[in-house]
Amino acid sequence: MAQKEEAAAAAAPASQNGEDLENLEDPEKLKELIELPPFEIVTGRRFGERLPVNFFKFQFRNVEYSSGRNKTFLCYVVEAQSKGGQVQATRGYLEDEHAAAHAEEAFFNTIMPTFDPALRYIVTWYVSSSPCAACADRIIKTLNKTKNLRLLILVGRLFMWEEPEIQAALRKLKEAGCKLRIMKPQDFEYVWQNFVEQEEGESKAFEPWEDIQENFLYYEEKLADILK
């Protein structure tokens, strides 16, 4: 994982992609977001660190058209179960830039090496968008060779879901035993409460955006059509 100082430096140029959503109705503001230059930094976050509020509001919003959202954020919960039934849970988040290593790859490269082969792992990902074909292939290979791993992926949006290659990759994920579903409003609230920065000493209630339920139903229908 990157050190805290490195993470802070990396977040500086990326912060403009986490603009608050309140003014996205402004054509000029939206134009600025869409025309942002690509990120150059891949950042890993350490345990205990949380996702900046503006990143969550922009990157996780389940919009139909995701222009300007050229990063993927992956929040994870890892439950390690011993043979005696004891469970130890850890959580954190990773972010990526599509031009470099993806967040899914980062999880396998930085988090999974710490797994104990003697334990059973139930892993849940809350991801801003669904995996690309290459990441889906990596997930499938990992599940096939890691028999003590069960993976549930909840996604805010479907990435390039109209592409045949992506549709085939999502179906292969299902066939490999990966559970894949669209994030419900309650899931966004869970991410807000457990992964997003809160003001010190107080926890601000999650405020759903206007079309959160409508967009969830939209993507849920698309995913069901792809996986049937």
Q: Domains in the chain, ordered, with CATH?
A: 74-107+116-227 (3.40.140.10)
Model pLDDT, residue 68: 59
Any idea which of 44-53, 64-73, 141-150 has the lowest mean pLDDT? 44-53
Rounded distance between C-alpha atoms, residue 174 and residue 169, angstroms: 9
Residue 9: pLDDT above 70? no
Active-site residue list: 104
What average pLDDT does the segment 162-190 reach? Answer: 94
Residue 159: pLDDT above 60? yes
Average pLDDT for the chain: 77
Residue 163: pLDDT above 80? yes
What average pLDDT does the segment 56-76 reach? Answer: 79
Model pLDDT, residue 102: 86
Model pLDDT, residue 37: 32
Q: What is the pTM of this model?
A: 0.75
Model pLDDT, residue 226: 95
